[in-house]
Amino acid sequence: MSGRKALLHSQAGEQLLAHYGDQAPRIAVQLAMHFERGRDWARAIEFLILAGASAMNRQANPQAEEHYTHALSLAGKLPPESRAETELRIFESRAAVYLAMSRFDASTADCRQTIGRARAIGSLPLECAALYALGNTLFQSHRLHEMQTVVENLVALAESAGSEARLQALALMTQCHLALGKPAEAQNELQQVIERPSQVDRRTLLGVLDVLALLRFFQSEYATAEKLYREAITMASELSDAFKTLKSHYFLTLTLANLGRISEALEVLKRAVEIARRNGASYWSSRVPNCLGWIHRELQDFEGALAHDRNGAEMARSVGVLEAEANSVINLVVDRFQTGDAAETELNLQRAESILAQDRWMRWRFEMRLSAARAEQTLSRPDALALLEEATHHSVRKYMAEAHRLLAQVAIAEGDPAAAEAELNCALQILRDFPAPLVAWKTHLAMGRLQAQLGRCQAARAAFAEAAAVIRYIAGNVDDERLREIFLSSPPVREALAVDVL
């Protein structure tokens, strides 16, 4: 481009900048073009960074990636003394974009570039922040061994970097413990995090909030998890953190469904699907079908559950998201058991075990779901006890209650009603302390059946009434008429409601 044309573009940029003033970011792409053609590389980069941030705010991450990559191509034209700091900002932002788009390897590479630039300019806080971002990305991509090395590096730097870095290191350590199924260690690290002062960077606080919410969800403290996930969604949205926005939406869906608030859950999931579509986030999109399969099965829509779970297994396999495939296949175990297809049940059991053997990331959680499916299928005391032991070790109250309910069924089959009643009372006490309506109605129904079998009419009626009350609460939170009708027309629900009317 001739010098005259470059000068004209530079002047056009200056005029637009003067005209728009504080509103200049609205035309950031246009300004970047003029300053680039005017060979004002620093200003062109600034407006490309602004354009990228604006695209991230709109959850338009493919466009954000284009702007940041373009900015990076211009950064090499800057003077050496300002290049490293500018490249750090670009790599940091693009790493977040790649993470939101489920491109973990690309995000990891940009995080490492950010670390290199932070070291080049001698900024310990920026190096710690980059290590923290890398650790989070490695966690999501299941690279736990590499993540543990990052944690060690961050811990070493935290001695000099101060409380912010120590908090980041503790948050990463907590995630490692959760991934490896060490709830006591995770709780200990979290307690230290909670006791730290709150005057820290909001991105660090969001990370702490995220891991705290996940632990509470895993331990069936759904009311607390709901509050934390709603806070996380608000903060993640304010920080334009698309990945944590999606993650919080997904787990809020599961939390609300566990609380029996099905339509609220499906509305949150609908928003998550739209965000994932805009971001191109296959990592979260692949989880949607197994989430829907679980919800439909809990509402006794076994045909719908089977369709969603088949779709989920195929989608997860096609995009290579192992844990989403594991969840869908475990769901298929339950689906096939419900239909009485023993051969398909066993085939999917073997398939699920094969998938879980490939990855230790959150394996304890998937193995617990598989143990619950196996115990439901076999109704054997050893399988039910194994589920109870796993659930108790990890403080997963929902599955502790389920294990006691299954042990009650085993005791009934063995002709020991007193033991069955004791097991059901244990389950109901857990559910009083940690409400989970989708489990509670089945447990009250089991108690009603047992009391009726023992000839205790008044106790039976009270138990059936409790089951009916929970059922009506769940049904009242299902706006989909077809789904609500399937639930209310299912044999066990009709049994509870019919006895309650008598």
pLDDT of amino acid 46: 93
- In degrees to the nearest 10, what's the CA dihedral of 461, 466, 468, 473? 160
Question: In whole angstroms, what is the distance from residue 155 CA to residue 173 CA?
Answer: 10
pLDDT of amino acid 24: 65
**Alpha carbon of 56 to those of 30, 59, 93, 482: distances in Å?**
18, 5, 9, 38
pLDDT of amino acid 164: 83
Residue 318: name the closest of 357, 348, 295, 289 by CA. 289
pLDDT of amino acid 21: 61
Query: Is the entire prediction scored with pTM above 0.95?
Result: no
pLDDT of amino acid 258: 98
**Alpha carbon of 19 to those of 14, 27, 46, 140, 454: distances in Å?**
9, 11, 18, 45, 85
Question: In whole angstroms, what is the distance from residue 199 CA to residue 395 CA?
Answer: 31
Q: Dump pLDDT digits (tens) for 425-441.
A: 999 999 999 999 999 99
Evaluated on CA atoms 265, 266, 269, 274, the torsion sign reads negative
Question: In whole angstroms, what is the distance from residue 93 CA to residue 45 CA?
Answer: 13
3-state secondary structure 460-478: HHHHHHHHHHHHHHHHHCC
Cβ-based neighbours of 50, under 8 Å, separated by 6 or more: 25, 28
Local mean pLDDT, 10-residue blocks, the chain (502 residues): 64 67 76 83 92 91 95 94 95 97 96 97 94 96 94 90 84 92 84 64 88 94 97 94 95 98 98 90 93 97 96 94 92 90 91 91 94 93 97 97 98 97 98 98 98 96 97 98 98 89 50
Question: In whole angstroms, what is the distance from residue 50 CA to residue 324 CA?
Answer: 35
